Amino acid sequence: MRVIIAEKPSYAKTIVNALEHIGEHFTRRDGYFESINYYVTWQFGHLFRLYTIEEYINSEDKRWKENILPYIPKQFKFRLKDDNGAKKQYQVIRKLINDKKVTEIVESGDADSEGNLLVTLVVSDVFRRDNLNKKRTRLWSSDQSETTIIESLNNLKDVNFYRNYSNEAYTRTCMDFLLGINLTRKFSLMNNRLTGARDIFSIGRCNTSIVDIIYERDMEIKNFIPVQYWQLESEEETKGEIVKLIDKDKFELVKEVKAKELAEHLNSCKAIVENVEEKLITKTAPKLFSLPSVQGILSDRYKISLGDSLKAIQSLYEAGYVTYPRTNSEYLSEDEVGKVRGIINKLNREGYNLKLKESKAIFNNAMVESHSALIITSKLPPKGSLNKTEEIVYNTIKNRFISKFLDEETKISQTIITITVGNRQYQLKGEVIKEKGFYNFEPLPKSKETVTLPNLNKGDEVNINFKPIKKETKPPAKLTLKALGKILENPFRKEYKNDEEAFKDVLEGIEIGTPATRTGIIENTKKYGYIIESKGTLSITDKGIYLIETLRRLNIDISKNRTVEFSKILKKVFRNELAPLAAVDIIKSELNEMFDSIQETKIEGFASDNKEKEVLGICPRCKKHNIVEGPKNFYCEGYKANPKCEFALWKENPFFKSKGKKLSKAIAKRLIKEGKAHVRGLRKKDNSGVYDADIILDDTGKYVNFKLSFENN
């Protein structure tokens, strides 16, 4: 008889349903299901946790003590959680494992390192306590559909086959204790001793490097000095259409004369269409999804947060509608051809026109580490069974699968018009979709919707009038969730020649966090008050600035460079190139060096602003919540409500900025309470003087706009 231990109750029920399809009949018991051949029980995720520092030193006093830091355990210990539900379920599992009828224990955590470790810890603890020696196997399932579960049950492997997954998860847990617990306590205690506050400064291997990345970008923007320059442009009509030409050369602001001389020279030449090249291109569908790539699209396209998208994907996975989600690969393994054929056949019966393509661009073992790309399964959700977010997420994954296997070509007509002016050439490029193909299932890139070219033929003369146009360099853009995700995947923004080269870096550990952990880490950095998210962009807070600048003063390096080195250590453990204890010893040594540096440095101290915020008025949009002042805006406190209100007035508003004004608290108060504010000294467009006017608040419900009124002047 077998006992199957699932990571969660929902997965246990899915396993039971799968076994019932092949003839097993189960009875529900207290904490497990029972049939003639199987017990199926479950955990609630982690039943065990690491000891706290106080438990290691047998202290009843739970207050943090600075004099024992850094605390490095001689041996890392795990214990059952102080939770009645966890304790009860542990005893259920223990009883079933000890049942004399049971000859095999099937460990069935999620198909990842953490899922492997959390079940192994429980089974190993029972074996140690009760001196057992029974067969232990691992159910490793790429998705939670009933078909795949049965296939996996027929291909069980010994638990030792997956030991490297547990080793990696164990090492990560110890590493995060050593760095995270010790540095968090030390930094927080040092700070609070100076300020009298009770702030917690969470410091961790990944979350601190994320704060550091956002700090770096915001400092680049803050310290950016725009540089003005001249660039030649011609925008004249030929054959009734505007032809715009932009010269590639840029001139410093003091070299306006040279720019004008070049413009005069070009204008003295004839502009002739030298060539009109048209070619038909067959476009390849985009790659299948990894977790970061699908979350990036969901954030950009639908403004779904990382937390909400992961929750929806996890729900779809647990229902058996999509494969294991926490993957960094955009390829399928070569042994999945049969599974994909089944999905294609099912979709074709639904009216789609798909074809199996056994190409290395899709099925490639060299591009899969542990988990294949995120795709749909052959289990299709019944109509109306998904909530709105789940439906968007599912259709995004489904449409990408359809695009990749569509038996229709996507053809684009590309036109390049080359215009010669003197010894210079200018190119106009345009594309027209001839056969939509996968664009029936994927949104059109904006460029392909808007690019149109003038009707010019070879030999035509084009009217030109080049003029120097004053321009200025732009600061770096604020980081979005999608852009941050790409940096975490490729921290050094290396330009890869091909996917193989990029994936090699992933295998080496050149990344920050993993697809399984990044969403939670980013959410935690927001929760701890280091960063804020507004309208899809991320910004550093005063607390985040203090954290990074103080860590640098203390010579504590948890930048992306250092975090990548930690990731490489974990990958070496995974590949059995480094023993877990040896990896932990490396971190112990690093931690001691950090603390040696801390002892010799003074810090300034930072206290969070917990003062009651001044209320400027009731929100004019939701009419429920107060408007209060933040560092960069005046915002509605309903941004955390359900439904949330995103009304905000930004201090550095472009409308006010263009008129030489900043949106002050006094102006904001009047706009909020009266819908308008009389403002004096607004700058004219040509800088020739100033004027007074009423500024009217125009809130569309989504965007805040402003209008000028001169009625009361």
Backbone dihedral angles phi then psi of residue 458, each to the nearest 5 degrees: -55, 135
CATH class of 228-284+410-472: mainly beta
Both tokens assigned to 616: 């400027």
449: confidence class by pLDDT, cuts 50, 70, 90: very low
pLDDT higher than threshold 90 for residue 26: yes
> Are 112 and 328 a contacting pair, CB within 8 Å?
no
Residues 53 and 35: their CA atoms lie apart, in Å, by: 44
Query: What percentage of the chain carries pLDDT values higher than 70?
Result: 95
> Are 706 and 655 a contacting pair, CB within 8 Å?
yes
| Architecture of the CATH domain 171-222+478-599 | Orthogonal Bundle (1.10)
Determine the number of helices (DSSP H) and then strands (DSSP E) in the chain. Answer: 22, 26
149-163, 212-226, 561-575, 696-710: least confident range = 696-710
pLDDT higher than threshold 60 for residue 101: yes
pLDDT at position 509, please? 59
Residues 221 and 248: their CA atoms lie apart, in Å, by: 25
402-423 pLDDT per residue, tens? 999 999 999 999 999 999 999 9
Contacts of 232 (CB under 8 A, 6+ apart): 246, 247, 249, 259, 262, 263, 266, 466, 467, 468, 469
Q: Output the average pLDDT for the chain.
A: 91
Every domain of the chain with CATH number 1.10.460.10 lies at 171-222+478-599
Residue 709 CA from chain centroid, whole number: 44
Residue 577 CA from chain centroid, whole number: 30
158-209 pLDDT per residue, tens? 999 999 999 999 999 999 999 999 999 999 999 998 888 888 999 999 999 9
Residues 597 and 116: their CA atoms lie apart, in Å, by: 37
CB atoms < 10 A from the CB of 256, how many?
14
> Are 509 and 571 a contacting pair, CB within 8 Å?
yes
Q: Which of 255, 208, 207 is nearest to 232 (CA)?
A: 255
Alpha helices per DSSP H over 196-305: 207-222, 256-267, 291-302
Both tokens assigned to 13: 């029920």
Residues 3 and 102: their CA atoms lie apart, in Å, by: 7
Task: Return the DSSP state at 143.
Answer: B
CA distances in angstroms from 158 to 106, 170, 190, listed in the order given: 9, 19, 49
Find where tokens 């010893």 sit.
Answer: 585
239-293 pLDDT per residue, tens? 999 999 999 999 999 999 999 999 999 999 999 999 999 999 999 999 999 999 9
pLDDT higher than threshold 50 for residue 450: no
pLDDT at position 20, please? 96
pLDDT higher than threshold 70 for residue 594: yes
**How open is the CA angle 512-514-517, to the nearest 5 degrees?**
105
49-90 pLDDT per residue, tens? 999 999 999 998 889 999 999 999 999 999 999 989 999 999
CB atoms < 10 A from the CB of 281, how many?
12
pLDDT higher than threshold 60 for residue 611: no
Mean pLDDT is highest, among 87-101, 328-342, 599-613, for 87-101
290-340 pLDDT per residue, tens? 999 999 999 889 989 888 999 999 999 999 999 999 998 999 999 899 999
3-class DSSP assignment, residue 494: coil
> Are 204 and 176 a contacting pair, CB within 8 Å?
yes
Of 158 and 453, which is predicted with more confidence? 158
Q: Which of 205, 234, 149, 708 is nearest to 462 (CA)?
A: 234
pTM, two decimal places: 0.78
Any idea how long the chain is?
Answer: 713
Every domain of the chain with CATH number 3.40.50.140 lies at 2-46+81-155
492-548 pLDDT per residue, tens? 765 544 555 655 665 565 788 888 788 888 888 988 889 998 777 899 999 999 999
CB-based burial, 46-62: b 16+ in 10 Å, e otherwise: bbbbbeebbebeeeeee
27-46 pLDDT per residue, tens? 999 999 999 999 999 999 99
pLDDT higher than threshold 70 for residue 356: yes
Q: Kindly compute the dihedral angle of the four CA atoms of residues 530, 534, 537, 540, in this order, to the nearest 10 degrees.
A: -20
| Architecture of the CATH domain 2-46+81-155 | 3-Layer(aba) Sandwich (3.40)
Every domain of the chain with CATH number 2.70.20.10 lies at 228-284+410-472
> Pairing state of beta strands 2-6 and 38-42?
parallel
Residues 518 and 479: their CA atoms lie apart, in Å, by: 16
Both tokens assigned to 320: 């058996």
The amino acid that residue 336 corresponds to is: E
Q: Which of 595, 632, 627 is nearest to 613 (CA)?
A: 627
CATH of domain 291-405: 1.10.290.10
- The residues pairing with 245 across neighbouring beta strands, listed in sequence order, are 234
The number of C-alpha atoms within 13 Å of 459 and in the hemisphere containing its C-beta is: 0
CB atoms < 10 A from the CB of 271, how many?
24
3-class DSSP assignment, residue 400: helix
> Are 229 and 643 a contacting pair, CB within 8 Å?
no
Find where tokens 């009828």 sit.
Answer: 101
Find where tokens 């049969």 sit.
Answer: 338
Every domain of the chain with CATH number 1.10.290.10 lies at 291-405
